[in-house]
Amino acid sequence: MQYPYFYRHDYPSESFVSLNVALWTEQFGAWKHFSQVAEAMALTQLSLMGCKNLNSLKRIVKLKGLQWLVLSDTGVTNLSPLAACSALEELWLDNTGVTDVSPLAACSALESLYLNNTGVMDVNLLAACSTLREIHLNNTGVTDVSLLAASSALEWLNLSNTGVTDVSMLQREGLTIIGVKEE
């Protein structure tokens, strides 16, 4: 089955603002044509959710204006290329093999981060993200969030099914914390 409108070359690059390729899978040759989409520098939103064969972010970093990126349910494990995505505001990494989020400390515009069901164990380096408003850590190996106390913009923290038991250093007005196990 062909979807020729995915492969048209006559679309002006500025016409792309948002792209959801959840159904645009490997079987339709999506990745060999992705470089054409990457040339659309005006692209600000991209969903690659469910693209299981996606394991490299090299092409995505060409999208300098990217503000919203969904990589949930993909094969992504290495976030290093995302350090170059300075405009990134919202990032979804649920159900991936991601374990190291340290490259995200360079994402100075990051506001929302979804890390549910990942192998992430340490998020303290995210304190460097001064604009981070919400972090979702449901079903991760995180046990310590003490350094996030320095994140004054933080408004929402989901710690459901984590090993975090002490959030006393985070208690302040304007911050909602859910899912903390008490010992």
Residue type, 103: P
Q: What is the pLDDT of residues 67-122, one digit of tens each?
A: 999 999 999 999 999 999 999 999 999 999 999 999 999 999 999 999 999 999 99
CA dihedral 37, 41, 46, 52 (to 10 degrees): 50
State mean pLDDT over 123-152. Answer: 95
Decide if 123 is inside a domain.
yes
Element (H, E) at 70: strand 68-70
Quote the pLDDT of residue 23.
47
Decide if 39 is inside a domain.
yes
Share above pLDDT 70 across residues of the chain, in percent, rounded to a whole number = 75
Mean pLDDT of the chain: 83
Decide if 60 is inside a domain.
yes
- Report helix, strand or coil for 158: strand
Backbone dihedral region for residue 21 (phi beyond 0: left; psi -120 to 50: alpha; all else: beta): alpha
Q: What is the pLDDT of residues 151-173, one digit of tens each?
A: 999 999 999 999 999 999 999 99
Decide if 183 is inside a domain.
no
Domain of residue 113, residue span:
4-178
CATH code assigned at 76? 3.80.10.10
Phi and psi at residue 13, in whole multiples of 5°? -60, -30
Contact (CB, 8 A) for 19 and 51: no
